[in-house]
């Protein structure tokens, strides 16, 4: 299985919303793809490509790719829809000799704009953390999104982010910034230190995304500057929107609870400086399922709470 062919072309950008309901257009395209692939009708497959895909992968190249896949893996026996992520649908794809994940991306014309095959593993679902978690910041912060309902937390519609928190800092008047708020430096959360909530291994670092001007979103890479920490029990702590070039940890680095990760920023699809934090069951957010995060000990609106998951409107700070 070391030589499995991987084909990637014009995959859609990451989007925070995903669904576990297959749409008819994806079902029709995936069904046709499987039929044409098994019958070696490569010209029929290429006819479903977008113009960009045709340019990047003309019939001659695709025929080679298709033949290589069939030689290694055989025919496709069945596919099972897993989820829709933005404009891409993921299918568990059972070949004669292996099981792969097949991702099909469609453009607005329902043409194939991206195609990806890679080894498929279904991560075990995690309901909540078993690893003890500490708040990843110092001082009192405000939970602007958090909880289980759509009213409390717009993230609930995303499979991976369904238990996410958006957290920022407010002053006594309830404002998140001083002055006009036209620059990131006006915001109380901007540049604040963020720390590892637990022991673990850093499995992903993204550090080069520019910080937005307040009120301006960046939909190209929605998480912005990112750190993901894997715990010993297989939980993945996902931090988003760090300040550009502020992250001090490296991929593969082992970190201890309280280790400095970087500074809070306003990168990615963020309208103002804040911390986005959630837990998920695998590193890849496009196939992950979120898990609820309970912090071991914290003060909520001035009251000490143990094993608590914050909700919208909570003022939270470390309890020890």
Which of 4, 110, 119 lies closest to 53, judged by CA? 110
Q: Are residues 92 and 152 in the same domain?
A: no
Render pLDDT for 154-189 as a digit per residue (tens, 0 to 9): 998 888 899 999 999 999 999 999 999 999 999 999
Q: Quick one: 259 and 175 in the same domain?
A: yes
Would you say residue 209 has pLDDT above 70?
A: yes
User: Above 50 in pLDDT, residue 4?
Assistant: no
Strand order from edge to edge, sheet including 112-119: 18-19, 76-85, 88-95, 99-106, 112-119
Task: Return the pLDDT at 232.
Answer: 95
User: What mean pLDDT comes out for the span 249-260?
Assistant: 98
> So what's the pLDDT on residue 18?
54
Residue-wise pLDDT for 118-129, tens only, equals 888 777 889 999
Mean pLDDT of the chain: 91
Q: How confident is the model at residue 88 (pLDDT cuts 50, 70, 90)?
A: confident
Report the share of the chain in percent with pLDDT over 70. Answer: 94
125: exposed, middle or buried (Cβ count in 10 Å: 0-12, 13-18, 19+): exposed
Count of structural domains, the chain: 2
Lowest mean per-residue pLDDT among 27-41, 61-75, 78-92, 288-302: 78-92
Q: Are residues 73 and 221 in the same domain?
A: no
Kind plus residue range of the DSSP H or E element containing 117: strand 112-119
Strands (E), 129-272: 141-145, 165-168, 193-195, 200-206, 225-230, 236-242, 254-255, 260-263
Task: Assess whether pLDDT exceeds 60 at residue 146.
Answer: yes
pLDDT of 3 reads 39
Confidence of residue 19 (pLDDT cuts 50, 70, 90): low
Report the predicted TM-score, pTM, of the whole model to 2 decimal places: 0.73
Q: Quick one: 172 and 271 in the same domain? A: yes
Residues 112 and 153 in one domain: no
Q: With 80 as the cut, is the pLDDT of residue 249 above it? A: yes
80: in domain: yes
- Name the residue range of residue 75's domain: 18-119
Residue 226 has pLDDT above 50, yes or no: yes
Task: Check pLDDT > 50 for residue 14.
Answer: no
Residue 287 pLDDT level (bands cut at 50, 70, 90) = confident
| Chosen domain end from 119, 154, 183 | 119
Q: Domain holding 298: CATH number?
A: 2.70.70.10
Please indicate whether residue 17 or residue 234 has the higher confidence score (pLDDT). 234
| Domain match, 107 and 153 both | no
Chain position carrying tokens 């991987």: 6
Any domain includes 9: no
Residues 308 and 185 in one domain: yes
Classify residue 2: in a domain, yes or no. no
Measured over the CA atoms of residue 306, residue 253, residue 279 and residue 235, the dihedral's sign is negative
> What band does 2 get if pLDDT is binned at 50, 70 and 90?
very low
The reply to whether 161 and 93 lie within a common domain is no
Q: At what angle do helices 59-73 and 24-38 cross, to 10 degrees?
A: 80
- pLDDT tens figures, 42-83: 999 999 999 999 998 899 999 999 999 999 999 999 999 988
The domain spanning residue 86 has which CATH number? Answer: 3.10.450.50
Residues 184 and 214: their CA atoms lie apart, in Å, by 6
Q: Do 113 and 147 share a structural domain?
A: no
Q: How much of the chain, in percent, has pLDDT values that exceed 90?
A: 79
């Amino acid at each position: 299985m070391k030589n499995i062919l991987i084909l990637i072309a014009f995959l859609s950008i990451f989007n925070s919303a995903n669904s576990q309901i297959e749409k008819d257009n994806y079902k029709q395209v995936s069904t046709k793809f499987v039929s044409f692939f098994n019958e070696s009708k490569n010209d029929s497959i290429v006819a479903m490509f977008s113009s960009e895909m045709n340019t990047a992968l003309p019939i001659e190249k695709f025929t080679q790719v298709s033949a290589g896949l069939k030689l290694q893996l055989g025919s496709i026996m069945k596919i099972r829809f897993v989820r829709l992520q933005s404009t891409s649908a993921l299918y568990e794809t059972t070949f004669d000799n292996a099981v792969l994940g097949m991702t099909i991306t469609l453009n607005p014309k329902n043409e194939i704009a991206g195609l990806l095959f890679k080894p498929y593993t279904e991560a075990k679902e995690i309901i909540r953390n078993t690893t003890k978690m500490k708040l990843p910041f110092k001082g009192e912060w405000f939970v602007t999104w958090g909880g289980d309902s759509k009213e409390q937390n717009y993230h609930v519609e995303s499979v991976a982010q369904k238990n996410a928190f958006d957290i920022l800092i407010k002053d006594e008047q309830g404002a998140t910034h001083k002055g006009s708020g036209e620059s990131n430096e006006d915001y109380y959360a901007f540049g604040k230190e963020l720390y590892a909530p637990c022991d673990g291994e850093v499995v992903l670092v993204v550090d080069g995304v520019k910080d937005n001007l307040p009120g301006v979103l960046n939909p190209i890479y929605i998480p912005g500057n990112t750190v993901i920490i894997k715990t010993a029990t297989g939980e993945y702590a996902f931090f988003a929107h760090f300040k550009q070039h502020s992250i001090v940890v490296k991929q593969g680095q082992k970190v201890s609870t309280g280790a400095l990760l970087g500074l809070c920023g306003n990168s990615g699809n963020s309208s103002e400086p804040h911390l986005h934090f959630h837990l998920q069951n695998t590193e890849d957010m496009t196939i992950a399922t979120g898990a609820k995060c309970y912090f071991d000990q914290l003060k909520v609106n001035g009251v000490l709470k143990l094993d608590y998951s914050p909700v919208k409107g909570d003022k939270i700070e470390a309890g020890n």
